[in-house]
Amino acid sequence: MASKVLIERANDVLRLVLNRPEKKNALDREMYLALIEALKAAEADEGVRVVLFSGAGGVFTAGNDLSDFLLSGAEAAEDFPALRFVVTLAKFPKPVISAVAGDAVGVGSTMLLHCDLVYAAPNARFKFPFVDLGLVPEAASSLLAPQLFGGVKAAQYLLLCEFLGAEEALRLGFINEIVAEADLLSKAESVARKLAEKPFDALLATRRLLRADLQDILARIEEEAKLFREAMAQPAMQARIAAFFAKDRR
């Protein structure tokens, strides 16, 4: 069986490919743990300078796998692999690029707020579906989205849970460029190589200065996780989530 996360090294660029196309690259526990391990190894490896995320099969990710998402209510929030992944990504000190085609739902969108550069195909669509699930946003998106989009647009996409198309995402500064799908990966890889060739200490320092305060981000992630845990304890929550996913993924 092919790995659900492909880990490919090209010199000093590490490429992480979500490789579950039959499930629209929905992220399950196994995938989260693989991504966490890969990011921690990349942080420790002086030979890795840039990480590049992409998805197989013409889609980035449909978000959390349904079965894992339902099970998450039964465990402590700090043990939930999705939470551990976003914390690991938020703390990751090296440049991160994403190449997005098709849908990027839930964590597929919130993780992009922790990327430095995002390139998207014309068919890319982004969605923050949390309120429709009876939940709050994750990955500090309740903090970072208003900073990036502005309060009014953040409210539109995080409260109404509308799809955000590529053109609007570009206008809001959520993505850097729209690239033909056939050229998307080569474009992202070219940018990754350019970054990797920069003086590394200056690159890391500049990235750190550009980003929001890490302690604020981690505090917001923790606050969101607390509210997530409280919501998952509600009796109707599991049924609401199951119904939402059944409708959304037909």
Residue 145 structure tokens: 């989205």
Residue 29 structure tokens: 């526990």
Q: What pLDDT is attached to residue 66?
A: 72
DSSP code string of 177-227: EE--HHHHHHHHHHHHHHHHTS-HHHHHHHHHHHSPPHHHHHHHHHHHHHH
CA–CA separation, 17 vs 83, rounded Å?
A: 19
- Please state, as a whole number, how many other Cβ atoms lie within 10 Å of the Cβ of residue 138: 25
What radius of gyration, in Å, describes the C-alpha atoms of the chain? Answer: 17
Q: What pLDDT is attached to residue 75?
A: 55
pLDDT tens-place string over residues 54-74 = 999 999 999 998 777 666 555
Query: Is-contact 65 30, C-beta < 8 A?
Result: no
Write out residues in the chain with pLDDT < 70, as ranges: 1-2, 69-79, 241-242, 244-250
Torsion angle, alpha carbons of 168, 169, 170, 175, to 10:
-170
Q: What pLDDT is attached to residue 139?
A: 97
Q: What pLDDT is attached to residue 240?
A: 74
The domain 5-183 belongs to what CATH superfamily?
Answer: 2-enoyl-CoA Hydratase; Chain A, domain 1 (3.90.226.10)
Residues with Cβ within 8 Å of 52's Cβ and at least 6 positions away in sequence, in order, are 13, 14, 15, 16, 96, 97, 98, 99, 188, 189, 192
pLDDT tens-place string over residues 30-62 = 999 999 999 999 999 999 999 999 999 999 999
CA–CA separation, 19 vs 131, rounded Å?
A: 28
Q: What pLDDT is attached to residue 133?
A: 86
- The domain spans of the chain are 5-183
Q: What pLDDT is attached to residue 18?
A: 98
Residue 83 structure tokens: 């939470």
Residue 223 structure tokens: 């606050």
Q: What pLDDT is attached to residue 1?
A: 47
Q: What pLDDT is attached to residue 235?
A: 74
